[in-house]
Structure 1
């Protein structure tokens, strides 16, 4: 449990706000097909390199496709045979991922959850290994703009997970100490960002690729999903605006 009242909550995006399998399984297939130039065998190879089983669609926890950013995915696929430059493939994948926000599947009613948390005084942010433009597009599409105080993508200049930069930038922008911030995520890289940044509360969720066995040793609380936050974690929590 946190040693001081939590005043701000930083959410991961994919697997935390969005159902990973329903949102990213088809998107990962499309990305691999793009990188492979339509070659099915090469696309299947890229998916395996990324940690996704081409047959079942299951993605391994903390694998490249579960936790990596676009630049890391592009470099790995080029090493595995994609005929692009790093910049070309990174830009192409970012365009694909940004355009796909229209097909994203939220894990719960995010407007209701974020509005409730925001009205109770919590400052809210999103930190993702996706691009800033993709996060901004999702926030706009899901009508979350009034409730989101901070956005950080892999290309926002704060560093990448599991480094602490996104968390520390969030805390600085919100005017809170890291010990007054909670991090909510579905993968070890989220929890390790929280640990390295000194977050006051680490919340793992099981709506992504991370399993309870993987997350439990790294987090303070492990929940089925963020829909449990208001009742199981922050219900009645003393909140004072920073």
Structure 2
């Protein structure tokens, strides 16, 4: 029998926040800002990001879904004549102002998990400052013992190092940590760290993509308490 979980590490975008509702709007604003009305430039930028400009949605194979801000900036620099550093700064600025749509009411859910004695954290391939702004903006930052971004010094998913940093920070062995995410980046990182992996369907990946890498695939993080209850039997 596997040891019962003592901590949960969440991805941010597509897990805590609905990916489409939040980041499709962000992308439209970003491309509008970068193209400044140049339709051809907007289309070229959308193409490298695999964003459907007509429908206003990311395509499932978009490299921006699980990529870091630097990786997105490097892609945009292929078609937009600006320095990668300048593009990354614009991405971060727009990301900090992205409309936040919680996948479920986060405050009550996190309180429920805390009452079970679980330690909670967030690890995102977004930047630390944006993660702090988003979590603070919806009033849940204080529920988390650990928040890290791709720029926090631990690396980015799918590498396991940032996940192991969480386990170390909260004093829980990786085998007792659950990694919850909406992408294979999250789940591959969790497996490499020796953690239990849970997929959620509030991002762009379906169960056929997440299932092979997850112990269970849930509709959203709101199903976590019930799933945890099943582990007791």
Bin for the TM-score computed over the shorter chain: over 0.9
Tell me, in whole angstroms, the C-alpha distance in 1 between the residues paired with 2:197 and 2:56. Answer: 28
Match of 2:221 in 1: 226
- Secondary structure of 1:10's aligned partner: strand
2:31 matched to which residue of 1?
32
The equivalent residue for 1:55 is 54
Could you tell me how far apart the structure 1 residues matched to 2:59 and 2:208 are? 13
Aligned position for 1:202: 197
**2-structure distance, mates of 1:35, 1:64:** 18
Match of 1:141 among 137, 141, 144: 137
Tell me the TM-score normalized by structure 2. 0.94
User: Which residue among 142, 156, 160 is the counterpart of 1:160?
Assistant: 156
Counterpart of 1:97 (choices 95, 98, 114) is: 95
Query: How far apart, in 1, do the equivalents of 2:130 and 2:23 lie?
Result: 13
What is the TM-score normalised by the length of structure 1? 0.91
Contact 2:8 2:180 in 1 (8 A): yes
* The one of 167, 174, 177 aligned to 1:181: 177
Query: Aligned pair in 2 of structure 1 residues 235, 194: CA closer, same or farther (>3 Å)?
Result: same
Structure 1 unmatched ranges of 5 or more: none
1:84 & 1:206 partners in 2: Cα distance?
Answer: 35
Query: 91-100 or 115-124: which moved more?
Result: 91-100
Structure 2: gaps (5+ residues): none
RMSD (CA atoms): 1.6
Q: Indicate if the aligned counterparts of 1:162 and 1:190 stay in contact, CA closer than 8 A.
A: yes
Change (3 A) 1:159 1:62: farther
Deviation at 1:62, TM superposition (A): 5.4
Q: Is the 8 A contact 1:60 1:66 kept in 2?
A: no
Q: Contact conserved, 1:184 with 1:204, CA < 8 A, in 2?
A: yes
Q: Report deviation, 1:38.
A: 3.4
Answer yes or no: is 1:215 the counterpart of 2:214: no
1:84 maps to 82
> Aligned in 2, Cα 1:58/1:136: closer, same or farther, shift over 3 Å?
same
Distance 1:39 1:30, change over 3 A: same
What is the total number of aligned residue pairs between the two structures? 232
